[in-house]
Every structure is written in C-alpha cells, then in structure tokens.
Structure 1
C-alpha cells in the first residue's frame, strides 16, 4: 500500500477517535441554583442558575409554567402567592442534563377582583347571582323548596337576607333560597372573605360554599366542593369548614370545626385562603382547617359560589316543630387575588 494512502487512513481513524472523545461533549456538572423573592409583594422572584458545561437552562416554576433561559438568569413574576417547588435543568451541547429542585415562598399583594356589598335594596344583583329553584332534597333529603321570591331572598339596609319559612309550598313544608354565581363569576386561587350572621333554629342549615365549575360534566364529588362555612341549629355556634372530593365526600369529608360565640346574633368573618399549595379555612382570622393542595385534587380549576339556607336533611337533622322562620344575613362577599 502506498505510503500516502496509509497516512490518509490513519488520519481518518485518528479523527474518528477524537470526535468520540467524551471531552468534546462534556456532561453538565456543579449545578447551583439561587432564588431571591422580592420583598415588595409583587410576586417577583430572581433566579440564577450556573453549571459547568451547560449551554442552557430550563425552569419549571412549580405552577405549570416552563421557560428556557440560555444564561440561567431570569426574573419570574408569580401571579399568586404560595410555596412552590421549582425544578431547574441544565442542558449540555448534545442533550446531557443535570437537575436540581428548590422551594420558594412568594408573597403577592392582594387586590379586590370581585365583590358584592349588597348596598342596593331589592332583588340581588342579577349580573352576579342566579338561583337554584325547586325542591326534591338536593341529594341530602332537605325539606325546603327554593324560590326567588322576595319573601325568601332580598337585599335590605345593606345586607342580603336569605329567609327560611315554615309554609306549605309546592309539596314542601318549608321555603328558602339558594343563590349561586355559576356562569356569572368563577375563579381559581385567591382569598375569600364573607361577613355573615347565621339563622337560629334547630333544623336550619346555612352554608357559604363553592363548587367546581365543571360539575355538569365531571359530577360530584369529582368537581370538588369547598364549604367555607356550614352551621346547624342543633349545634349552636359550631362552625364547620370542609372539603369534599373523591375519597373524601359525604360523611368521609375532609374538614374540621371551631366553636365561636354569637354566631346567630352577630356578624362574623368566614374566610378562605386558596392557592396552588394549600386550602385554608378561617373564622374571624382563626384557622379552622388546612388541606395540602396537589395536582391530583380537583382544587386547581375555577369554582363558583353558593349561598343558601337549607332545612333539615342529612346534615340539618330534625326540625324543631315550633320553628317558624329564620334568616341568614350577609353583609358582603369579597374575592382578592
């Protein structure tokens, strides 16, 4: 074989070996990630990621948002406060990766996004509230027939009044009202505050609660239910805060209670703090119950409000035969984000 052909073959072999050398495409290493949340409640977090031999960085901000950052330096604004698990992946030139996770706690200023102050006398604002109408027990063997009559629901003197009345009406022994914001207002994550004075009387069952907007397709309890406040007249001043979802519904619901004073004679604040990481229920700013929120739960979608006073049923129990009427008064309902 001529010398020059042998030299060419040796050169090609040498180049092939060189291109296969791991030193030409090193794996990223020494990944370091830092996060500095802002102190102005803006939701901004400044991230810095560095790694040896990295050519880009992919951020998973822990709330379903991803971003590729060539330099590793980025400021991301979280729309909602909470604690998030952030995962950062450093990528090499031909796809090699190394990852690291960290938790970051974010504070955001709350702004009022929806409310009803009930300052206009008459029927509740039709732009904000609709009604469930009729009887049939609503799956709980309830005894009332829901109407939209002013006898059962009206705004007067700055408060919403939902009145349960003992009367024979369309085959039911009681009437009341059930307002809902379905198809008018729904939201995901935020803080809810409701000021209310509860009805008195054994057998009353007032509730301030929420259902997932997909209830018509997913059904209950797959849609999720958040009971910010429930009370029954047979256990005066005992406030229930409860979540219902698959595996924890009905009598196996996920909740807790708190005793307060004057639930039926004074206004109290019933609150919900709902984020991607947790669902917390309060009475007068005192925590009743906390549930860690995860992607497997149905509490990561839009929910709408329901305000009602039921009579009897599986929760309200036997109604006092001397009951005549009782009213839940709501001073305001507010949603902040």
Structure 2
C-alpha cells in the first residue's frame, strides 16, 4: 500500500490521505469511453464545454494514528483517452483508487493531480502526480513529487520520541507488460532530501544503535526492481482475483544517498466472492531488510489502526483478512482482523 521503501515515512501524510477518504459526489456526466453512445455524445460537444467535466475534486478526512486527524483536498484531471474498457472519473473518487489502478488488470486512467493536507499535530503535505500508460497498456507509469513536514513518533523500547521530517520526495515508477499476460516487470527510482529533528533526543539503550538519528539534513536515494502479477477483476473494489507483487530496493551512496541498505518486499492479495453481496479479502505481506537503513525506513507492521513505525524490525510479516458487504454500487461495509 505504499510507494517505495525510501519514502515510506515521508509520505505518511499522503498515505493517510489515500487511506481515509470522504466520498466525492461525482455525477454521471463523466463519459464512459467504452460506450459508443457516450463517445458520440462527447464528439458532438465543443471542447470548451466539456473539458472541465474531467476535473474531479477529492475531499479527504485524515485519521492516521501516526500523524493525527485532519483534512485534505485533491484535484484530479482525467485526460480524455479514446478506447474501450477504461476507468472513468466517477470510478476513481479517491487517491487510493488512483494509486491502486496503476496495477489494475484493465487499463488505468491517464490522470494528473495535485493534493494537499494538514493535521492537528503539525503535519502537512502538498504535491503533484501523473499516471499514464502507452502501447495498449503495455507500459504503465506513475510519477509523484511532494513536499511535506511530517511530525510523528519513533519508538525506543516501547517509548515514543517525537521527531519532525521536512523536505521533498520524488518517486518514479514504470512497468512493462510481458506479452499479453498479466505479468509485469518494473523499475523505479525514489529520492528523498530532508531535514530531521528530534524534539526530545532518544536515549542510547543497550543493543540499540541510535547513532546517526540526529543527522540534520540527509539524502536517501534508491533503485527498485519489481515483478508483479495482477488478475483482480477490479482494483478499486475487487470481488475476485489476486495480486502478487515482489520488489527489491537498493539504497546507497553509489547513487548519491547517505545510507546503504537493501529491502525485499513480498505482497499477496486475494479476493473471493461469497454469494452476491459478500467478498472475503486476504492479505499477506513480508519484508526483509539488510544494511544500515535510517530508522524511518526500517520495515514496520502496517495494519489499520496501528500507528506507522510503532512495531519495527529487520523482518516483518503481516496477515490480514477482511469481509466486505456491498451496500450499493458505491458503498460497502467492511470488517477486518489482522
């Protein structure tokens, strides 16, 4: 559910915006390119009468325990793309949907967006992103540039120590489909340049290396390789299919960073319909890390309701199950355990 290991904590604000989104009120005026009638209707309208209909405002409610509560706003422009079986604006009402659609089995949208948000603990973030695909969905691209000031906690022997991380992050991700299959190979680049300050310096207990925590300004750069298989029927609200995603990230001074470490991540998602309205979702994730990673990049347990960075380690595994009940095409009730 995150981008690349280098930017995990720094993008906490954006992750919170993605995970806790108010429903946007998007009407049916957005055309569906898979419909011949809609294509003809769009062609009959002057460009200056319909371009603004592709702009979708996304109000957000932030409830991430690691950064507090707050509000945000995103604005996405869905570029008109000819062709069938495309996502439409009213199917992508949240940054989570936009983010996850980049690994969907059907072609993702071509969208450019800006976002911003602030929480009650002083965290704020703002950025711009673009998602595209080419050659009949054989190539998929995602790029994000964000500025943020993240205020959250780092835990030593269970005791929280508040720190502030301020700077800029750049994420570039491109994937290539293997033939006509559901397999993708991808590469990525992540860049983080920031300044970190502990409001209360952490102690130096036995067997815990806290050297380098108070480094002030730093740079962390990583390269990522990915193998992915996607068979979900829909990435926005899937009812069947699975996602297998394996990433290997290498961060080091050989690309200009201040830290040297390697991270392997495995993710598995599976969805199973139970009758007409219930869907069982299963999730498993595993992370393994070696080297000298900054404390904020050490893998942590990522579960709803648990603050980021609360439980960290060189090896982390997560298992989660959720049961979703479809109330209507746009609303669902979810119960989960993990």
* TM-score (normalised: structure 1): 0.27
Task: Name whichever structure is richer in helix by fraction.
Answer: 2
Does 1 or 2 have the higher relative contact order (CA < 8 Å, sep 6+)?
A: 1
* TM-score (normalised: structure 2): 0.27
Query: Which protein shows a greater Rg?
Result: 1
